[in-house]
Chains A and B, each alone.
Chain A
Amino acid sequence: MKQVNVKINGIPVTVDAGTRILDAAKKAGVNIPTLCYLKDVTNEGSCRMCVVEVAGAKNLVTSCFATVREGMEVFTNTPKVIASRKTTLELILSNHDQKCLSCVRSTNCELQKLALEYGCDSYKYQGEKNSYPIQDKNPYLIRDNNKCILCRRCVAVCNKVQSVNAIGANNRGFKTEIGSVFGHDLADTGCVACGQCIKACPVGALYEKDDTDQVMKAILDPEKFVIVGTAPAVRVGVGEEFGYPIGTDVEGKMVTALRRLGFDKVFDVNMTADLTIMEEGTELLERLNDPNAKLPMLTSCSPGWINFIETFYPDLLGNLSSCKSPQQMFGAVMKTYYAEKMGIDPAKMVVVTVMPCTAKKTEVIRDHQNASGYPDVDITITTREFARLLRRQSIDLRNLEDGMFDDPLGQSSSAGHLFCATGGVMEAALRTVASIVNGKNLEKLDFKGVRGMDGIKEATVNLNDGRKIRVAVAHSLSNARKLMDQIRAGKSKYQFIEIMACPGGCINGGGQPIVPSQVLNNVDVRALRAKAVYDRDKKAAIRQSHENPVMKVLYDEYFGKPNSHKAHKILHTEYKPQNKL
């Protein structure tokens, strides 16, 4: 590639032709503030925060959009630039409700941070303000356009990354508003509840429905037996809320924190991820042996993905594994097997899950998710809500000793833990399927071909009995769409496909801690969190789901064998098309 020489604030730097000024500045060690720019997602140039002076140019230039040319001299911090950014911020603030004290994003808001840095007068421009009703008629997400700065990051994520197109910019000029067709709530649109828009939002215009009060109410009710289960991704995310570097595994402290909150039992959803592998792996083998079965089989543990396929590809529901997600299997096992074993009335049991996910809030209220006659899971909170709850209860994660999940259901394999990273369900399934197909253990457990952050990954896998299967893994729904279009056209060459709705998988789920764009634009948060997951797998004693001793207990004492009639009744579910705008 052709190289060009430029100077940023007098610092010479050589970069590829076509590089954005913003990135060239980064190479020179110069930071330029941004608001609307999100690496690999959007560079609309709409917010004007990243403006710089270019020698010879009459006007300021948006550095997230403009590219370098040979000999270009850029100045990023001149009085003219600073004044422009300050005015831009003050104009944004003039149409912003400024309710920072009660905002869920306070201290973690990109606008607040910049306004402070630039010494803005928040009331400099007093004039007409838009006033919008808060949109909250769905169980997972709230949109407060009184805080929206029209950066369109949420729109770009919804449209480009997820290909869902539930939201867009409507109306014009001062009345421009981000929302859905005819002002409908997201619940009426094709929104899949993935929550990626929340993570993209630089301010507090988008946030999850908070269910933390319900959790405390259950804990404080002496009549209730309250069980909590945690998703694999939570332990590699929640530390960030308490100042740990991205990608720190805080499982032990997390367990202690949950116990201190007052839960009666603290279990791990990784255990039912193992159970999912037993059921889903067996289902896959049955389908492979049945000439009439629908292939490729599609994984079913990501509720955002389930909403997506039910809305956009209802004709392919037959390809979906009938297995409930690990979260729902967790609740189902608690309220059936565990309730019976402990002699607890499932009516008095409250199952709470901590999830990296906003779509889980739609999953807990789905049909066919009540094996005991009561909802499998009663309340689900995101990693962010969990951190909020800890702070409110004055529990500082950093000062806690490590704890262990409760016996006897607290044990899990590291295969179950892999569920939270893209490719992880596939790898866990292959480890078990390839072994149980003829009872011989695999020599090598690592399936590196399905790891990593490529949008679509594929591999050919030798089952232990000489058969080969072709598998694919996709994360982000725009990638899922490509694989679904292949199936629809009859051109899919795979037997098994793993889909996770969120980019990178659950580690980067819509309920995970929010990372500001200034960090997102520089490091791959997904890869850092995934590394913590694979590091745990490397060191684990039990690395295959079928070797988890809890599985033997569950099948011997209760379910008989995978995909038995009883297992089907309790651990599997049904799907139906969703008819949306």
Chain B
Amino acid sequence: MSYQFIDTPEQKKKLDKVFVELKGVPGSLMKAMQKAQDIYGYLPIEIMQRIATACNVPVEEVYGIATFYAQFNIEPMGKYKVGICLGTACYVKGSGVILDKIKERLHIEPGHTTEDMKFTLEATRCIGCCGLAPVMTINGEVHGNLKPEDLDTIFAKYGA
């Protein structure tokens, strides 16, 4: 799937400012990546290249770090972030089946975003609501005691 990267003049200015602040600061690569993600929401190749140039490291190094840490997104995030908990309690209570159902519904794998940019699917670790297992969050709103047949009603609320 490919997404078009849009860079507004304001965003560009903000990132340039970050580079100025971090210039010459040792070990500032991670910081630059975090700030860039704050500005753009994710790290497309165009931004990785700018970070690489600014921090004087190969772009492959930036990419290696971005794909190593879960905190970095290399694809744009959808309007709604769907997190399905695969922690032990939720998994035992059937969250794996629910994840499969959501994958079928949205036609994406965890870590990806639907082409209409509406949903980003994430399989998460335990989010601490084991009493409500299995749970799913959509933009922070918790849906607990889930059964596969609940999904139609829930997703209808978000227009899918």
Residue ranges of A at the interface with B (Cβ–Cβ < 8 Å):
159, 165-172, 180-182, 189, 581
Contacts and interface: CB of A to CB of B under 8 A. Distances in A.
B54 to A, nearest CB: 16
Nearest to B48: A181
16 contacts: A165-B59, A168-B58, A168-B60, A168-B63, A170-B63, A170-B67, A171-B68, A172-B67, A172-B69, A180-B60, A181-B59, A181-B62, A181-B63, A182-B45, A182-B74, A189-B60
Sorting the interface of chain B by its residue count into under 10, 10 to 19, 20 to 34 or 35 or more gives 10 to 19
A-B pairs with lowest CB-CB distance, top 6 = A165-B58, A181-B63, A168-B60, A168-B64, A170-B67, A171-B67
Given A165-B61, A181-B60, A172 B45 contact: no
A172 B59 contact: no
B67 A581 contact: no
B49 interface: yes
B68 A165 contact: no
Contact of B68 (A166, A172, A182, A189): A172
Interface in B30-77: 45, 48-49, 58-64, 67-69, 74
If over half of A's interface residues share one DSSP class (helix, strand or loop), that class is named, otherwise mixed; here it is: loop
A168 B45 contact: no
Nearest to A173: B68
A159 B61 CA distance: 10
Contacts of B59: 165, 181, 581
Contacts of B58: 159, 165, 168
Contact of B63 (A159, A172, A182): A182
Nearest to A158: B60
B138 to A, nearest CB: 26
Given A170-B67, A180-B60, 13 more contacts: A159-B58, A165-B59, A165-B60, A167-B60, A168-B63, A169-B64, A171-B67, A171-B68, A172-B67, A172-B68, A182-B45, A182-B74, A189-B60
A85 to B, nearest CB: 28
A372 B146 CA distance: 74
B39 to A, nearest CB: 20
A511 B143 CA distance: 59
B6 to A, nearest CB: 18
Contacts, number: 36
Contacts of A189: 60
Given A159-B58, A165-B58, A182-B74, A581 B64 contact: no
Contacts of A165: 58-61
A166 B69 CA distance: 20
Contact of B60 (A166, A171, A172): A166
A327 B108 CA distance: 50
Nearest to A169: B64
Contacts of B49: 581
Given A165-B58, A181-B59, A170 B45 contact: no
A581 B48 CA distance: 10
Contacts of A171: 67-68
A169 B74 CA distance: 16
Contacts of B45: 181-182, 581
Nearest to B66: A170
Nearest to A180: B60
Nearest to B61: A168
Contacts of B69: 172
A165 B45 CA distance: 16
A212 B41 CA distance: 49
Contacts of A181: 45, 48, 59-60, 62-63
Contacts of A168: 58, 60-61, 63-64
B32 to A, nearest CB: 16
Nearest to B69: A172
A189 B59 CA distance: 10
Interface centre among B60, B67, B68 (most CB of A within 10 A): B60
A136 B49 CA distance: 24
Contacts of A167: 60
Nearest to B57: A165
Contacts of A159: 58
Nearest to A172: B68
A159 B74 CA distance: 23
Nearest to A183: B63
Interface centre among B48, B49, B68 (most CB of A within 10 A): B68
Contacts of A182: 45, 63, 74
A470 B48 CA distance: 41
Interface centre among A167, A180, A182 (most CB of B within 10 A): A182
A189 B64 CA distance: 15
